Structure 1
């Protein structure tokens, strides 16, 4: 077994264009606003904490559907056919309980009809998230809330923008999206080391449909790939983050009115719709002020991540109830998304982490540990819970037996006579 510097233990419960730092749209050259150094620094800090979450998604979007190394196509669901292992690098903190189905949808031109097969008693959960991290819809047969009866059979829904008007096909449920671009992520339970169960799950994956409304109405049931709506993100130089954020806000501003009003302030440093952020034309003083603001923003994010994104109990960090639905808390959004990528709402899929043992020492692969749950302390979940070991950078560790996790569904798990574990 490969020895690691320390482990992270996580309990997961399923409830369930080429563009550089300069992007020009303005007709006149960029001019620095009459701002003090302190004001420029503060605006850069706020732009960083605001933009971190969307920029994480924009990076994923560029990597996954635009660049030569793309692994997905817009409006066509991609299925991962096996459980994640230590060799996987598709997304940090993968679980070893479920296989993944994922893609980016675009409903800006017309709605998209999505059909999910009948999973019967096999757990599945779908997370639909906007580019600005609003986990606006969850679907699944084991959720603790929502239309669970509909999800226990073949389920067909249609994604459309808020302003779309038209006729919804019979037997199809309308789901409104905050914007045109949507990230689709599905988790499907598979019994580890069971080839037959994996094959059955793969058959179900192949029955998924995602078809534009006009084609659906003509009887088409094959996916039709949509061209990426956004230009490729390139973050050049020390101020590449701000340049990239300007690209995003020009190409795809947020739909939320409160968010639109908030980002108006960034136009003072030439970030926003119609603005040209030209880092090469900045004075040395302005450049330093912007860099100082970015650094302050990074420190704020780092401090929140170290403090914890929710609350701590007995050394375990629990998710903030607002995760996946951040409102105007852009700092929490950035800290959460930069740490966990595609973050679900805790009521749908919750993660609890610890890095240390009860003595405050970092967990180490050199040691053995015992975790005890009294009967009333056993994690409560409508589907399953699992305890998973991760490396310090949130990948599965390299283990000879590939036993990455233990769950309430693990074969041979034995409870004590008093119901404890």
Structure 2
């Protein structure tokens, strides 16, 4: 009888072990799927942010038409994070299923300008302007992937890697008195679709739902439905071959071109929900901390060309969607002072001290500025209406040795407002832009507390 009880107990132990092993395997599998979903969320963050931005903007700006901003950006400008206060923007969203698009501009004299071309994965595939193509009047044709048709004689051809693309034009405004002349230059920009629709093109992006489009700055709030948006982008804009390993992983969750994975298998949906949370923490963590060097400034050193560094791509999209390549413009972001404390406008403020030989190194055709944003990366209203300060700010006072001190805080320094960049009472973010930089290894001075 005793032997029988032992045998029964042994069998129960064996069954329990097998069940425990199955439970552990299931837990491991769920963990693996959540990790895949987290990586997939990071992968999809930039193209989803871009697609949402596009959806919101084409409610006002029809595709394949160039819209030129007539006023400088201000606190009311809240469509794309981190707008600059240096240039007038010209914007176009291209749908190359309609055929190639011809972009022309006039002779630009000495005025800096640039048309930046981005694919739907936020990679920069071309620049037309001062640095890349020069100041002479120009004609450029932007063609869809694999285009072999005819183009206008004398026009330079630029092939887009994706069927949808974003054109960001920037036209420098030297001063308030120069605004009208900058507008006049913009009015001579022109965009034209050249041919009829292409029959074998992939499907278009989903139609926009004006007034109800989800916000580009709140992607995580959509949970697993983010992967539906990514699936639509994959169908409309086939990604580069280098993304194949990531796409294979995503397919295990049902994330494939044109699918609606949020309505898929419950376990996959659960994994996607967990992945959104995990992936977003990675992106927020990267965007909220400094990197590259010992000081408080992080540099978007590799912006515009991301390859398979999807986390870097997502981090740039979080704080500076539409950032250009470093040879065109460098971006330095600071959220803390020299001691590591968060930047705040209350208190005694901060000094940025540039030695006479330590100003941002730029080409003579370029320019630089320091811009202040709230934590959401948009301008904050202030009594001066000054959102950036830089080499074109009138009345800047230099030291006797040629050095330059910029003062940042809620109150002006004792020396007066000439070198003052107003800040809100709470936390803020600084971004130093250097257009046409000549030394990409240069680093800005750390914000020093006190006056």
Q: Normalised by the size of structure 1, how large is the TM-score?
A: 0.79
For 1:214 and 1:251, the matched residues in 2 are separated by 20
Q: Hey, what does 1:190 align to over in structure 2?
A: 173
For 1:136 and 1:76, the matched residues in 2 are separated by 19
What is the CA RMSD across the aligned residues, in angstroms? Answer: 2.4
The structure 2 residue matched to 1:42, chosen from 31, 35, 41, is: 35
The structure 2 residue matched to 1:252, chosen from 233, 237, 244, is: 237
The structure 1 residue matched to 2:207, chosen from 213, 221, 232, is: 232
Alignment of 1:143-162 (within 5 A): 143=131, 146-147=132-133, 151-162=134-145
The question of 1:292 aligning with 2:274 is answered: yes
Give, in angstroms, the shift of residue 188 of structure 1. 1.0
Structure 1 residues 82 and 276, CA, compared in 2 at 3 Å: closer, same or farther? Answer: closer
Alignment of 1:16-415 (within 5 A): 36-65=29-58, 70-141=59-130, 143=131, 146-147=132-133, 151-194=134-177, 197-214=178-195, 229-232=204-207, 238-254=223-239, 256-273=240-257, 275-279=259-263, 282-283=265-266, 285-308=267-290, 310-320=291-301, 322-366=302-346, 367-382=348-363, 383-415=366-398
For 1:237 and 1:390, the matched residues in 2 are separated by 25
Structure 1 residues 387 and 165, CA, compared in 2 at 3 Å: closer, same or farther? Answer: same
Structure 1 residues 46 and 299, CA, compared in 2 at 3 Å: closer, same or farther? Answer: same
Structure 1 residues 180 and 388, CA, compared in 2 at 3 Å: closer, same or farther? Answer: same
Give, in angstroms, the shift of residue 384 of structure 1. 0.6
**337-346 vs 48-57, which moves further:** 337-346
For 1:237 and 1:162, the matched residues in 2 are separated by 31
Structure 2: unaligned runs, 5 residues or longer: 1-27, 197-202, 215-220, 405-451
The question of 1:418 aligning with 2:401 is answered: yes
Give, in angstroms, the shift of residue 330 of structure 1. 0.9
For 2:357 and 2:232, the matched residues in 1 are separated by 51
Is the partner of 1:335 in helix, strand or coil?
A: helix
Is the partner of 1:115 in helix, strand or coil?
A: strand
For 2:260 and 2:317, the matched residues in 1 are separated by 27
8 A Cα contact 1:98 1:190, kept in partner:
yes
Q: Which structure has the higher relative contact order (CA within 8 Å, separation 6+)?
A: 1
Structure 1: unaligned runs, 5 residues or longer: 1-34, 216-227
Q: Normalised by the size of structure 2, how large is the TM-score?
A: 0.74
Structure 1 residues 269 and 84, CA, compared in 2 at 3 Å: closer, same or farther? Answer: same
Deviations 1:151-193 (A, max 9, x none): 2111111111241113332221111111221100011111343
For 2:388 and 2:287, the matched residues in 1 are separated by 24
Give, in angstroms, the shift of residue 286 of structure 1. 4.0
* Aligned residue pairs, count: 359
For 1:171 and 1:250, the matched residues in 2 are separated by 34
**179-188 vs 334-343, which moves further:** 334-343
